Amino acid sequence: MENREVLEKKSESISNYIRECSGIIHEKGHSIAEEYGLTYDQYHILLYLRHQTNPPSINTISEKFNRAQNTISEKISRLEEKNLVEKIDDKLDRRITRVIITEKGNQLIKTIRKERNVRIVYNALETMNEKEIDSLLSNLNKLYDNLKEGD
């Protein structure tokens, strides 16, 4: 085992590479979303809605994105015009409007993610040989498992 100081420097370097790779993939995903007619905020709202088990209110979404409620309401209306989200009345309080992602919205996010994987990650992996890719995948899997287990 390496000494602690060397391992700390390597762990910092690995964390930086993972963060930078994630950032590059994320940013290029925005470009692909734009090609599908989504603004930065619309894309992020759809991603957020996709992971919600209970439909959030417009107020909850505005708090999440730190935007004025009328700004979020306008963005939701634009998404609704594209049939990517649907506004529904709250079952207990009719004054509250909730938002759900539609099947079309879910499919669009899946399409953008697949495009992102193919155009960005796949193209980057094409410059590597099979052994390098298998080693990368194996080591990332081991790192993931170790991180998941805890300290």
Residue 39 C-beta-side C-alpha neighbours within 13 Å: 10
Assess if residue 93 is contained within a domain. Answer: yes
pLDDT tens for 79-98 read 999 999 999 988 888 888 89
Domain that includes residue 58, residue range: 12-149
pLDDT at 1: 61
Q: Is residue 3 part of a domain?
A: no
Q: Flag whether 5 is in a domain.
A: no
Nearest alpha carbon to residue 26 among 108, 101, 128, 117: 117
Q: Would 74 be classed as within a structural domain?
A: yes
Tell me whether residue 109 is in a domain.
yes
- Is the residue at 7 inside a domain? no
DSSP 95: T
**pLDDT (0 to 100) of residue 106:** 96
Q: In CATH, what number is assigned to the domain containing residue 143?
A: 1.10.10.10
Domain assignment of residue 102, yes or no: yes
The mean pLDDT of 42-62, rounded to a whole number, is 95
Number of domains in the chain: 1
